[in-house]
Structure 1
Amino acid sequence: MTIDGFKHVLPITTRWMDVDVYGHVNNVVYYSYFDTVVNEQLVSAGLLDPQTSPVIGLVVETRCTYFRSLTYPAPVKAAMRVTKLGSSSVRYQIALFQGDDPSAAAQGHFVHVYVERATQRPVPIPEPVRALLQTLVV
């Protein structure tokens, strides 16, 4: 898998604390990078305020396949695209690339179900969010 075809790319720098005793970025941190690229896109577009938005996306499914270890210190590119856009859910495909390496070190997916914050019940994806997500569909 290469970075071509991804609609949004976020540079992330690995941190000292991301590395485990084996000398590579720990597997749980990959999921943090997934979460970061998705939510950064929503927050930077002004479509999500984590503290006050009445409708929020809850993660209901994630998966990651690892091809190579990410290391510290090194830049990472988190690339994202939407592969399925439903009425209340969205599935993102995400890949992580280290430095200028054209092939992914890891790839996976991340599913949000949109819910009303107060009730935690599914609701349709708000139209402004849907409009942004449509631009990320492949």
Structure 2
Amino acid sequence: MPDRAPPGSRADYVAFHTLPTRWADNDAYGHLNNIVHYALFDTAVTLWQMAQGCFDVRGESVRLLVVESGCRYHAEAAFPDTIHAGLRLGRLGRSSWTTELGLFRNEEDAAFAEGFFAQVQVGSESGRPEPLSAEVRAALERIAR
């Protein structure tokens, strides 16, 4: 089995969102439950997309579907840690893209978890992939590394 890649650092990511943890996020072992990592990824991506004007909350014109996701855990985090979610563009296609994420606890420089969300833009009525608009493409290119 190949050696595991070390955790990324904050400098590896372009845009950040600060997210609080909640007491309910801890599991029986006293650290963030695995599903919370995905919720943090989803919240950070959605907040970034909303800030860029890329997210149609009602899905009236287009919908952004998550078609694949993953997470690699490096260390533990727990309530009351403050999480800083870093984002960067992993891949950009015609109608789809991958956002890579790093989760950092408090002021630590090494990610405690890293993951990705692959998304595709589909028409709200057709449900079929549609090319990204120039505005969405430009927003995604701003977080390219």
TM-score band, normalised by shorter chain: over 0.9
3-state SS of the aligned residue for 2:141? helix
Residue 84 (structure 1) aligns with = 91
Provide the rounded CA distance (Å) in 2 between the counterparts of 1:107 and 1:113.
Answer: 20
Deviation per CA, 1:46-92, whole angstroms, max 9, x where unpaired?
22121144112100000100011110001010000001100011111
Residue 77 (structure 2) aligns with = 70
Which residue, 21, 32, 55 being the options, matches 1:25? 32
Aligned residues between the structures: 138
Comparing 88-97 with 50-59, greater Cα deviation is found at 50-59
1:1-138 equivalences under 5 Å are 1-138=8-145
Provide the rounded CA distance (Å) in 2 between the counterparts of 1:53 and 1:76.
Answer: 32
Q: Which amino acid aligns with 1:94?
A: L
Provide the rounded CA distance (Å) in 2 between the counterparts of 1:119 and 1:26.
Answer: 36
Provide the rounded CA distance (Å) in 1 between the counterparts of 2:54 and 2:128.
Answer: 19
**Segments ≥4 residues shifted beyond 2 Å:** none
3-state SS of the aligned residue for 1:46? coil
3-state SS of the aligned residue for 1:39? helix
2:20, 2:81 within 8 Å by CA — same for their partners in 1?
yes
Comparing 77-86 with 14-23, greater Cα deviation is found at 14-23
List gaps (5 residues or longer) in structure 2.
Answer: 1-7
2:56, 2:62 within 8 Å by CA — same for their partners in 1?
no
2:63, 2:124 within 8 Å by CA — same for their partners in 1?
yes
3-state SS of the aligned residue for 1:128? helix
Provide the rounded CA distance (Å) in 1 between the counterparts of 2:56 and 2:24.
Answer: 27
Q: Which amino acid aligns with 2:68?
A: E
